[in-house]
Amino acid sequence: MSREVPPDIAVLEKRLQSEPESLSIREQLLWGYFEDEALHGHPRRIDHILWYIRCFPQKFLCRSPVVQIDPAISREGYQTVESEWVRLLAKNPHDAEVARGAANFFCMNDLCRAREILHKIINRDSNLADIWTDLGRFSTDSKDRLRFLQEARRCGSTQPNLLVWIGRAAIETSDFTTAKAIGLELLALVDAARAEYGDKLDWKEKGREIWARALDATGDRSAASRLVKAISAHAYHKHWGHTMLGHVALNENSLSTALDHLLESGEVVRDPRLSSYGPSFSLARKVCIRGAWSEVTAYLKACESFWEDERLSVWRIKIESQELPDFWVADVR
């Protein structure tokens, strides 16, 4: 494998030579190597990951994909960082943040090991919301996932996606009572946001453009940041709130109500989560089976406004011919 790196990373590497303890430069390098898949197995990326987790195992970045290593790409790199996490766990057996970092590292390659690490912590202290949340995220059993996420909420979790994750787990387990409660709660948040921000929630700009418009409207950076976050949260909550209530309606044999919710769920602006991972297709799939082809066509068309994926148009052509697509994107947790 070539050891050459892009010019921007080379510049950062040179700066690091004169400032070897710079956390900022090190984090920029970690992001730079992570964002270029061709560099995921680069020896310098492994070096930076190892340095970072050794020095700052409790930091947020250690609980993110930025420090994960695919053993299929770099077996030696994986084993090197694995050994460091094992050492850190032995040194800090009761540190919840170290455990979360280690579990994050192992979750892509060994989910059982990741869950075992977290269970050791939660068995000592059952009131750790973040541990319950991670257990829910790493669970492959939908009933366990629902229970763990509900425990996270009981413990006061501030994870912004938690309500949606609980509602989705409830749908997967056919717990429609919980799904309805969560769906209504999400739409209550939608109504509250609408009362506070009005039509600003419908702004369609993205990236720097939405930030610039928000700053121009508010004249204050803090207020602009709150507005941008509110626009995103409104879209996310509206999409999933209506999706959940659509499933509930379908379970109650009210196809027309389910279709109303399906169409409402697609009438949203861009949100980083929806734009990255895609919208839900679980409700669309179910109403297709009941013959609601035109409504699902309209839903897929609406999704094109916030999810840029070439598969949408392919699926829409299939649906217009009253055929189920061979493959639907699985809803991402």
**Residue pLDDT, tens place only, 200-232:** 999 999 999 999 999 999 999 999 999 999 999
Q: What is the pLDDT of residues 275-328, one digit of tens each?
A: 988 999 999 999 999 999 999 999 999 999 999 999 999 999 999 999 998 777
Q: Are 101 and 57 in contact (CB under 8 A)?
A: yes
Percent over 70 (pLDDT), the chain: 98
For the chain, the domains span 7-125, 162-200+227-320
- Write out the two tokens for 187: 């739409």
Q: What is the mean pLDDT of the chain?
A: 95
CA angle 207/212/214 to nearest 5° reads 100
What does the pLDDT look like over 127-183, one tens digit per residue?
A: 999 999 999 999 999 999 999 999 999 999 999 999 999 999 999 999 999 999 999
Residues 13-36, mean pLDDT to the nearest whole number: 96
In this prediction, residue 1 has a pLDDT band, given cuts at 50, 70 and 90, of very low
At 237-259, the pLDDT tens digits run 999 999 999 999 999 999 999 99
Which residues fall within 8 angstroms of residue 54, CB to CB, at 6 or more apart? Answer: 84, 88
Cα-trace Rg, the chain: 22
Is 1.25.40 the CATH classification of the domain at 162-200+227-320?
yes
Sign of the C-alpha dihedral computed for residues 284, 262, 231 and 169 taken in this order: negative
| Nearest alpha-carbon partner for 240 in 293, 294, 171, 296 | 171
